[in-house]
Amino acid sequence: MGQSKEVTIYDIARKLNISAATVSRGLQMHPCTAKKTMKKILDAAEEMGYRTNPFARNLISRRTKTIGVIVPGLTSHFMSSVVEGIERVANKKGYNLLISHSSESTAKEADSVKALFNNRVDGLLASLAHDTKDLAHFDLFFKKDIPVIFFDRVLEHENSTNILIDNHKAAYMATNHLISQGCRRIVHITAPSLQSVYADRCSGYKQALLDHQVKFKKEYVLVEDLNMQGGAHAAEMILKMRPAPDGVFVANDLCAIGCMLALKQKDVKIPQDIAFVGFNNDPASKVIEPNLTTVDYSGHDVGETAARYLINHLSGLSTIQDTNTVMLRFELIVRESSTRHK
């Protein structure tokens, strides 16, 4: 059976005995088109099985109305929320998303950058892999002046905007809270990352100790994969420490929960023996017993802000040079895992 001929605006124009230009404006619902005429055009298009041709339109406008998104993974609630926030803003403005994940690999991240560039995305939103130490593989975009915005895990670049929170201040607040609850031997569990996000959280932890005359111990900084398994492994090391730590600040909620569960299996009481603070306010933080104290910042806000800034750049309302860093709000949510003194 032969393939039927694709319906064009000229076919619709002949059927309605109007110009192709009028059909084109009607299909785009241009305000200059009379409502009665627009309805006739749309009805005829539906009846005849007309399909828009975005490829042809993109050749004229040099826009694909598509945004590329690169994330380290989609298994965490936080990153899924970020993508939902991006999608909400992008769809309202008529943009589609091409989403790729690096699986925490710079090599795969570079492949994603190249693939999205070749797919001619109008702009790029990216959260970097743990082992990404420079932005050379993003030069494809920078050299073509295609806007790039980094969020959450970022590196500085003069041709990009960074969306994040003040991780130093947030970590300082978390550690300060543990100190206020009487903790003096505080372990910090962090990630093997080359970006500022985890380095800033570690520096905030150290600064809080210094400001309260609590001695910093290098052996109290444990570098793990920030997942449940990493938390369980950290618990094994904590159990071997003498004297035993009395507080733990973890750079991720799931890792904190893995550590708590492993310690509870060894009859360690939380928060009486050891108090816990996590980071990200994952839904699981309200399921674990006791509920986990955590730093909260909205993934939806991160995604919506990143998408909004990128679309503003694409619309000519601002430039990357106008805004290099955007700091979002956060708060410490105090729950039972750290509450030793009412």
pLDDT at 339: 93
Spatial separation of the C-alpha atoms in residues 267 and 129, rounded to whole Å: 36
pLDDT at 317: 72
Mean pLDDT (whole number) for 126-144: 90
Architecture of domain 9-52: Orthogonal Bundle (1.10)
DSSP code per residue over 279-338: ES--GGGGTSSSPPEEEE--HHHHHHHHHHHHHHHHTTS--GGG-SEEEEP-EEE--TTT
pLDDT at 195: 72
> 307 falls in which pLDDT band (50, 70, 90)?
very high
Q: Write down the pTM of the prediction.
A: 0.78
Domain spanning 65-164+299-328 has what CATH number? 3.40.50.2300
> Is residue 194 a contact partner of residue 164, using CB atoms and an 8 Å limit?
no
> 1 falls in which pLDDT band (50, 70, 90)?
very low
Mean pLDDT (whole number) for 260-284: 96
Q: Where are the alpha helices (DSSP H) in the chain?
A: 9-16, 20-27, 35-48, 54-61, 77-92, 106-118, 139-143, 167-180, 196-211, 228-240, 253-265, 299-314
pLDDT tens digits for 65-116? 899 999 998 878 899 999 999 999 999 999 999 999 898 889 999 999 999 9
How many residues are listed for the chain in this entry?
342
Q: Within the chain, which residue ranges are assigned CATH 1.10.260.40?
A: 9-52
3-class SS of residue 206: helix
Check pLDDT > 70 for residue 320: no
3-class SS of residue 212: coil
Contacts of residue 276, defined as CB under 8 A and 6 or more positions apart, other chains included, come to: 247, 248, 250, 256, 259, 260, 270, 292, 293, 337, 338
Domain spanning 167-298 has what CATH number? 3.40.50.2300
Q: Which residue has the higher pLDDT, 225 or 173?
A: 173
Check pLDDT > 60 for residue 2: no
pLDDT at 247: 97
Share of the chain above pLDDT 70, in %: 93
The backbone torsions φ and ψ at residue 110, rounded to the nearest 5 degrees and listed phi first, read: -65, -40
Residue in 183, 212, 176 with CA at minimum distance from that of residue 270: 183
pLDDT at 144: 87
Average pLDDT of the chain is: 89
Spatial separation of the C-alpha atoms in residues 160 and 125, rounded to whole Å: 10
pLDDT tens digits for 233-268? 999 999 999 999 999 999 999 999 999 999 999 999
Whether the bond into 283 is cis, omega within 30 of 0: no
Strand 96-101 to 66-71 pairing: parallel
pLDDT tens digits for 192-218? 777 788 999 999 999 999 999 999 999
Strand 331-333 to 293-296 pairing: antiparallel
pLDDT tens digits for 3-58? 457 788 889 999 999 988 888 888 877 778 888 898 899 899 888 888 766 555 55
Q: Within the chain, which residue ranges are assigned CATH 3.40.50.2300?
A: 65-164+299-328, 167-298
